Structure 1
């Protein structure tokens, strides 16, 4: 086990003896105020919700046989998750399946608590599953030096790129998006309504090329190549609706605000959004690599 994992395990045991809940204990300290800035839940379509605080979002899909939740957010965000689900007419114990975009604490910190409460099955890439079992990524993660450990998730169903999963009446396809982390995964599906027809929805993983500590992308050409493939995939992805954990990464925050303001036609349906996100992060990756090339070694 990673040293941070051992530290977390000791903290969890210590916390349990004090009577607090190790699965819901806040992990971000003074940063919680930033992470939990309020936002309203959005019903994108009758069976699709976009919920969570302003900076840490989740997708919720009503499959007719239970809920699919995409990402879990932070342990300290659970009250918001419960409240937003309730506003859409759901309960957390209706979550049967939990899909993970990446193993960072802001995406995965609350998984263990949600699983305990709902019995949901967790799905992730092999790399992400390994990190979830430790409660933190290893040194292969570009942001490893700045990550916060969270309650480990032992039971994870591993999915591969292009694998189609059937949940109730919804079929969701896993789309590998390595780069921000080695195991990042996006999720795509189609939703149809009598009023607005069908729409292809893509919930994207993060694509920002942040690093921490001494990590340099230039030292990992295989990840850079995978990163560029992820960007190219997203650029070519046919998507009518683009969502992401960090709404500002995909522009979903601006589209949601426009929807709430009554803008027509529906701003959530923006077919060029996937290409725009891909182009944005291709430019930022190039800039990151240029900085690394210019920096003294």
Structure 2
């Protein structure tokens, strides 16, 4: 399972797993896209319910272990964490992974691609899926926006964050993504694609969206360049 939603999301996730005909104990590995409240908040509860091992990127491990605080956060963000507004229950970290590491469970294999910027250890996951005779690559993009909630404060890219985003755009463009996913369903138009699948001759076709994948990377990079340009004028 990738991500655990907010701290209050765990009961809904547990119910959804049961509705799909699975038991929470069937979940053996928990993964994370990045260590923000809305993606890591429910991991502790899901870990307790499942007994699963949690794998976290080495660069986000300190943030995860502290429930959202990090020495790479802006001071106002850490303050909000310490005040409890952005803090979440700290899960047990069983393993830390690095860029390019592969995680296997039976026939399933996922590859971790570090795509930092949104957080220091923000991770994009890729994994092969088979549709009949076709083998496709699904890519779940970890995050491409400013570090939360940078837009609320007078914040500028530091040298490390600039370098992180530059590398992230390069990494994502290098992945031969067939199926484009993100932790936020709206970002990759899941509702529209599900509607199209209902009437499509090939139910997989609406999800074959490399064009949308590259378009969103381009939009994120354009926003990044625009912000940099505005900051250089100040």
State TM-score, norm by structure 1.
0.69
CA change 1:284–1:258 in 2 (3 A) is farther
* 1:238 corresponds to: 176
Deviations 1:216-249 (A, max 9, x none): 11xx112211211111211221111111111233
Q: Distance in 1 between matches of 2:69 and 2:141?
A: 20
Between Structure 1 and Structure 2, the one with more helix by share is: 2
* 2:11 corresponds to: 79
Among candidates 28, 40, 49, match of residue 108 of structure 1: 40
CA change 1:116–1:237 in 2 (3 A) is same
Deviations 1:16-55 (A, max 9, x none): xxxxxxxxxxxxxxxxxxxxxxxxxxxxxxxxxxxxxxxx
* 1:144 corresponds to: 77
Choose 247-256 or 122-131, whichever is displaced more.
247-256
Among candidates 193, 207, 228, match of residue 166 of structure 2: 228
Moved over 4 A (4+): none
Q: How many residues align?
A: 223
Deviations 1:44-80 (A, max 9, x none): xxxxxxxxxxxxxxxxxxxxxxxxx011111212232
State TM-score, norm by structure 2.
0.86
Q: What is the Cα deviation at residue 190 of structure 1?
A: 0.3
Q: Distance in 2 between matches of 1:253 and 1:182?
A: 30
Partners of 1:141 and 1:182 within 8 A in 2: no
Partners of 1:71 and 1:99 within 8 A in 2: yes
Q: What is the Cα deviation at residue 167 of structure 1?
A: 1.1
Partners of 1:103 and 1:137 within 8 A in 2: no
Partners of 1:135 and 1:152 within 8 A in 2: yes
Q: Distance in 1 between matches of 2:170 and 2:207?
A: 22
CA change 1:238–1:112 in 2 (3 A) is same
* 2:213 corresponds to: 274
CA change 1:231–1:257 in 2 (3 A) is farther
Listed as ranges, the gaps of 5+ residues in structure 2 are none
* 2:20 corresponds to: 88
Q: What is the Cα deviation at residue 155 of structure 1?
A: 2.2
Q: What is the Cα deviation at residue 141 of structure 1?
A: 2.8
Among candidates 93, 98, 111, match of residue 155 of structure 1: 93
Q: What is the Cα deviation at residue 139 of structure 1?
A: 4.1
Q: Which residues in structure 2 correspond to 1:241-260 (within 5 Å)?
A: 241-259=179-197
Report whether the alignment pairs 1:216 with 2:160: no
Partners of 1:129 and 1:156 within 8 A in 2: no
